[in-house]
Amino acid sequence: MGKTGQVEAGPTEMATDQTFARWIKAQNNQRAKDLLLQFLIGDTASLKAGLLAEIRDLQTPDGWPTTDKQRSYADLLEQTATLRSHETAENARKVRGTAKRMAATAERERAARMKAMVKDPKKWLRDAEQLVDARGTHNYEAAAEILYDLREAVGGDEGDKITRRHAGHLAKKHPTLNHLKSSLRKRGLLE
C-alpha cells in the first residue's frame, strides 16, 4: 500500500503497444517472414503465446522491485514467531496498563467512599441492610463489602464494634441466608 492507503499499481501483466513496436523493429526481415508464414499455416494460439512469452522475457521490469532474499521457510517461520512474540508482549503491556489504571481508579473511588462513610456510618448500615433485603448472592457480597469498608473507614475498636454488631443483626434477621453469612465470615465480620 502507498502512503495514502491506496493499493499501488503493480507491473503490467502484458507488454504495451510500445513494447510490441520495439520488438517488431528489432526483428530482421527473414525472421519476420518466417513468423508470418507460421501464423498463416501453423497453430496461431501456441505461436502467439510463445512470442508473448519471448517479448515478456526480454523487457526489463519497470514495476515492483524484486530481490532474492535467500530466506528459507524456517527463517520465515522464525521471523513470524518473533513478530508474534513482540505483538503478544505489547498486548500484555497494554492490558497491564489498563488494569493498573482501573485499579487506581477503583482505589480512588473507595477512598472517597470511605471518607463519606466516616461522616455518616448509619447511612451505610442502612444501605447494607437494603442490599440484603433485596436478596441475591451478589447483593450479600456487596453488603459484606460495605461493612468491611465501613469497619476500616471508622477504624479501631469502634469500627469493629459497629460492623460486627450489624453483621450479627443481619445474620439473626435472616437465619436461612447461608450465602449472606458466608460473605460476612469471609470479611471477618461474623464468627
Each residue's pLDDT tens digit, 73-132? 898 899 999 999 999 999 999 999 999 999 999 999 988 988 999 999 999 999 999 999
Q: pTM score, two decimals? A: 0.50
d(CA 109, CA 122): 20
**Full 3-state SS string of 54-88:** HHHHHCCCCCCCCCCCCCCHHHHHHHHHHHHHHHH
Contact status, residue 143 vs residue 132, Cβ threshold 8 Å: yes
Query: What average pLDDT score do residues 10-26 get?
Result: 69
Each residue's pLDDT tens digit, 116-144? 999 999 999 999 999 999 999 999 999 99
Provide the residue ranges of all domains of the chain, joining segments of one domain with +: 17-58, 115-186
